[in-house]
């Protein structure tokens, strides 16, 4: 196993230094305090600034902790911005797959539907933006759980609420399924929330690869799955392309 | 068989983008670059046309690269553009003579007053069906001729060329100083106040009145027709369509039949109603405009309700007030409160466009009390877009024999659910969003693909349209009525604020 990464240790030291004092510090002060070369300190400060952990006062050029650090526990990407940035790709996914598309982010132990594109058959459908889905019984929720974007309520016991006879009804079953999601890079939900319905979902990544949400498509089980009951590979391909396109849009690297 | 795509270039007010579409009208790749907005004085808005051309040279290869294809896979390219924005450039060097004057710019207000007095509005309405306004290109062109030293003579001598953005870009794409094609289409030309709306040719009387020498003008060609091959950026690819952005959006929404309408929510918002081959003159403050002309077919006309400031109010809220860090956050902020708290914003930044056409109006925020938070202001920002839409729809219903039954919407702001619900609420009709909200780009692609034979006819395009979302009205009728009344009272307070300066130049 590799040892500690020096630049991360130094970054942590800079954050501690900025957090310790009540006032902003200049580049020279930061470098001198930590015994770093100015160029090294500058590179680290620039990177921390890029991820919003550090802010630089434009007038004085001095540094302080960034607002993002104060909100580390909450989502750093506004859900309305996520919808806005993904709308073209969600539309294209619905158009190509012929199925309804939804985007989800975590909210208080559930999945909040933040965007919904109708199935492109011009039938009567209702927007369900704002709806809440169970984490363990929806493909969107499984993605959020698998990549650590959401967690089950701390009070959850070993048993999970069963919506149908296919719902993963124990934490143990769910954990196995989540490991598989991480291996495959996508999640499925086959008649686990309601009978006759199926869905697949994939992670949306932001800066640094952090999963900020999930995008999925859903429909009748016979359309989402093949005759063996497995999600159709063609749909998975379209889904993952769309998820990658949104991630690129959000500034994730190569995913 | 190798799949081919149609490329669309949308040269908009804030950015230039390039989008590839496939045969089913689905988006394949996007690339976009913003350009700088110059505000040298209050009421002035300028763009650097050279920067925009440079951005086009960047977005095209980027869009190809994202799609993983070469230019030989492009069946045709179509251009949609911000309308009215006026560029004047040197025929020999290809350099813009001065910065482009943008459609929102109000520097020509004194000229508007002058033209209204003499020869009077009717003179213009008869010929180009537009009344004098700072909005249209002829006034901007005239301002340039009057204010750039030596320009009148150079224009007479044919040394400079005039165009809206599509003319500028096509000229550059097809060779620039080295044989570039200097052309425009009737949708763009119908926004200059220089084209006769019936004959679709430059009107001698209008040219004389504005003092525009003929040699500066581009040739008016159909909106969809093979113009020629690109020589720069996309060598060998056929350029086959040019449309003003709002007409392109109407085309992209496949509003091909009389009575079909759409509203595009962008920097400004624009509601267009197809009136077929019949030229309808509005009695309620709407503009008559050319919707499209395909090849040698009859031109199709539209009635248009133009709203100058909608998305740009959100941008102002973000960039000038700094209350949000990205435009979509306006919805998040607005949702922190239940209602507007009694606060209304009338964003008459460059006067009011349809249906009121008051260049003397300026923005107001009314109903301020110590109760008002930034959340209420955010609500008022979004509601301003809703109420302005309502005023235009009321005008359209008054002009048309059939009332609007649903509103097809598109553009970036349709990602804002709170706004779309509010629009449905105040119009009291369903609001529907198509599967492609980039309808400006899609429309240019459709027109280009049609002219290139990539698509066979309008019916094929119609079948590509699908509903992606729908908002149903849910507001209590009494509340709708009282809120509308409040809005109208707020608008009253914005009127007449801007006064002509006592001496010297206009503000």
C-alpha closest to that of B82 among B267, B289, B359: B267
Reported as a pLDDT band with limits 50, 70 and 90, residue A255 is very low
Reported as a pLDDT band with limits 50, 70 and 90, residue B265 is very high
How far does B17 lie from chain A, in Å, by closest CA?
14
Helices and strands: H and E segment counts in chain A? 9, 8
pLDDT at A22 over 80: no
pLDDT at B417 over 80: yes
pLDDT of residue A77: 80
Domain ranges within chain A, ordered by starting residue:
6-65, 76-249
The Cβ-side half-sphere exposure at A80, using a 13 Å CA radius, reads 20
Three-state DSSP state, B30: strand
Average pLDDT of span B459-480: 94
| Topology alike, domains A6-65 and A76-249 | no
pLDDT of residue A3: 76
How far does B158 lie from chain A, in Å, by closest CA?
44
The secondary structure element, H or E, covering residue A116 is strand A110-117
- Give yes or no for A83 touching B (CB within 8 A): yes
Calculate the alpha carbon distances from B279 to B253, B290, B301, B356 in Å: 21, 9, 6, 21
- How long is chain B? 507
Cβ-Cβ contacts under 8 Å for B487 (sequence gap 6 or more): B344, B346, B383, B387, B390
Distance CA B268, CA B262 (A): 14
Give the gyration radius of chain A's Cα atoms. 22
CB contact under 8 A, B415 and A92: no
C-alpha closest to that of B242 among B265, B268, B220, B257: B220
- Give yes or no for A116 touching B (CB within 8 A): yes
- CA-based angle B467:B14:B366, to the nearest 5? 85
Class of domain A76-249: alpha beta
Could you read off the pLDDT of A174-190 as tens digits, one per residue?
Answer: 999 999 999 999 999 99
Reported as a pLDDT band with limits 50, 70 and 90, residue A7 is confident
Return the CATH number of the domain spanning residue range A6-65. Answer: 1.10.10.10
pTM of the model: 0.83
Cβ-Cβ contacts under 8 Å for A222 (sequence gap 6 or more): none
Torsion B205-B209-B212-B217 (CA) sign: negative
Distance CA B27, CA A88 (A): 8
On the question of a cis peptide bond just before residue A63, with omega within 30 degrees of 0, the verdict is no
Could you read off the pLDDT of A45-78 as tens digits, one per residue?
Answer: 998 888 878 888 888 888 988 877 766 655 568 8
Residues of B in contact with A122 (CB under 8 A): 466-467
Tokens representing residue B99 in the block: 């910065």
Burial string for B169-195 (b: 16+ CB within 10 Å, else e) reads bbbbbbbbeeebbbbbbbbbbbbbbbb
C-alpha closest to that of B359 among B114, B40, B36: B114
The secondary structure element, H or E, covering residue B79 is strand B74-81
Residues of B in contact with A117 (CB under 8 A): 435, 468-469
DSSP state of B233: S
Residues of B in contact with A94 (CB under 8 A): 435, 468
Three-state DSSP state, B160: strand
Could you read off the pLDDT of B105-137 as tens digits, one per residue?
Answer: 999 989 998 999 999 999 999 999 998 989 899
Reported as a pLDDT band with limits 50, 70 and 90, residue B483 is very high
- Structural contact between residues A246 and A101, judged by C-beta atoms closer than 8 angstroms: no
On the question of a cis peptide bond just before residue B355, with omega within 30 degrees of 0, the verdict is yes
Task: Identify any residues that bridge with A202 across adjacent strands, giving them in sequence order.
Answer: A215
pLDDT of residue A75: 56
CB contact under 8 A, B437 and A88: yes
CB contact under 8 A, B26 and A92: yes
């Amino acid at each position: 196993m590799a040892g500690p990464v020096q630049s991360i240790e130094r970054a942590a030291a800079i954050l501690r230094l900025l957090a310790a004092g009540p006032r902003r510090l200049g580049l020279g002060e930061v470098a001198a305090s930590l015994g770093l070369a100015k160029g090294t300190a500058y590179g680290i400060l620039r990177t921390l600034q890029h991820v919003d952990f550090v802010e630089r006062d434009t007038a004085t050029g001095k540094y302080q902790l960034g607002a993002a650090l104060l909100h580390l526990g909450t989502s750093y990407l506004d859900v309305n911005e996520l919808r806005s940035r993904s709308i073209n790709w969600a539309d294209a996914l619905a158009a190509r797959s012929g199925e309804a598309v939804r985007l989800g982010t975590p909210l208080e132990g559930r999945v909040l539907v933040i965007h919904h594109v109708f199935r492109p058959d011009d039938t009567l459908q209702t927007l369900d933006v704002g709806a809440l889905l169970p984490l363990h019984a929806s493909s969107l929720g499984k993605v959020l759980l698998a990549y650590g974007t959401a967690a089950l309520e701390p009070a959850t016991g070993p048993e999970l609420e069963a919506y149908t006879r296919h719902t993963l009804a124990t934490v143990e079953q769910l954990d196995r399924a989540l490991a598989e999601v991480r291996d495959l890079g996508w999640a499925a939900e086959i008649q686990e929330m309601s009978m006759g319905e199926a869905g697949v979902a994939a992670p949306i990544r932001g800066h640094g690869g952090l999963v900020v949400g999930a995008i999925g498509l859903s429909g009748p089980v016979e359309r989402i799955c093949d005759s063996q009951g497995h999600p159709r590979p063609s749909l998975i391909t379209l889904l993952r392309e769309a998820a990658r396109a949104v991630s690129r849009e959000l500034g994730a690297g190569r995913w | 068989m190798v799949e081919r795509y149609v490329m669309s270039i949308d040269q908009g007010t804030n950015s230039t983008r390039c989008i590839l579409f496939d045969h089913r009208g689905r988006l394949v790749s996007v690339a976009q670059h913003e350009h700088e907005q110059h505000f040298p004085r209050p009421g002035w808005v300028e763009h650097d046309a050279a920067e925009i051309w440079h951005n086009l040279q960047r977005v095209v290869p980027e869009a190809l690269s994202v799609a993983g294809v070469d230019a030989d896979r492009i069946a045709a390219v179509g251009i949609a553009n911000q309308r009215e924005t006026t560029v004047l450039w040197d025929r020999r060097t290809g350099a813009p003579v001065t910065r482009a004057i943008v459609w929102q710019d109000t520097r020509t207000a004194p000229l508007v007053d002058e033209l209204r007095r003499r020869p009077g509005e009717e003179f213009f309405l008869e010929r180009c069906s537009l009344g004098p306004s700072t909005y249209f290109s002829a006034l901007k062109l005239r301002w340039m001729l009057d204010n750039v030293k030596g320009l009148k003579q150079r224009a007479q001598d044919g040394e400079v060329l005039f165009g809206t953005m599509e003319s500028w870009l096509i000229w550059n794409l097809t060779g620039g100083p080295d044989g570039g094609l200097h052309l425009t289409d009737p949708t763009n030309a119908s926004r200059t106040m220089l084209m006769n709306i019936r004959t679709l040719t430059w009107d001698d009387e209008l040219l004389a009145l504005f003092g525009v020498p003929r040699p500066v003008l581009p040739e008016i060609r159909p909106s969809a027709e093979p113009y020629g091959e690109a020589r720069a950026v996309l060598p060998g690819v056929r350029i086959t369509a040019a449309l003003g952005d709002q007409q392109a959006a109407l085309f992209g929404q496949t509003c091909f039949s009389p009575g079909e309408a759409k509203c595009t929510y962008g920097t400004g918002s624009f509601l267009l109603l197809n009136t077929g081959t019949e030229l309808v003159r509005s009695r309620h403050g709407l503009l008559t405009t050319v919707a499209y002309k395909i090849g040698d077919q009859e031109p199709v006309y539209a009635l248009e309700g133009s709203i100058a400031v909608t998305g740009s109010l959100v941008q102002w809220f973000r960039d000038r007030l700094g209350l949000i860090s990205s435009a979509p956050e306006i919805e998040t902020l607005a949702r922190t409160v239940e209602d507007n708290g009694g606060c209304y914003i009338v964003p008459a930044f460059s006067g009011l466009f349809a249906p009121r056409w008051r260049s003397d109006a300026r923005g107001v925020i009314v109903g301020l009390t110590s109760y008002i938070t930034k959340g209420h202001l955010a609500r008022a920002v979004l509601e301003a877009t809703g109420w302005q839409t309502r005023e235009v729809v009321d005008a359209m219903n008054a002009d048309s024999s059939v009332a609007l039954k649903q509103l097809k919407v598109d553009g970036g702001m349709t990602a804002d659910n709170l706004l779309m619900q509010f629009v449905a609420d105040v119009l009291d009709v369903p609001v529907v969003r198509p599967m492609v909200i980039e309808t400006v780009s899609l429309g240019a692609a459709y027109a280009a693909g049609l002219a290139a034979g990539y698509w066979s006819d309008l019916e094929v395009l119609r079948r590509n349209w699908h509903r992606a979302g729908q908002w149903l009205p849910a507001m209590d009728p009494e509340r709708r009525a009282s809120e509308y009344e409040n809005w109208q009272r707020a608008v009253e307070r914005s009127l007449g604020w801007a006064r002509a300066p006592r001496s010297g130049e206009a503000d």
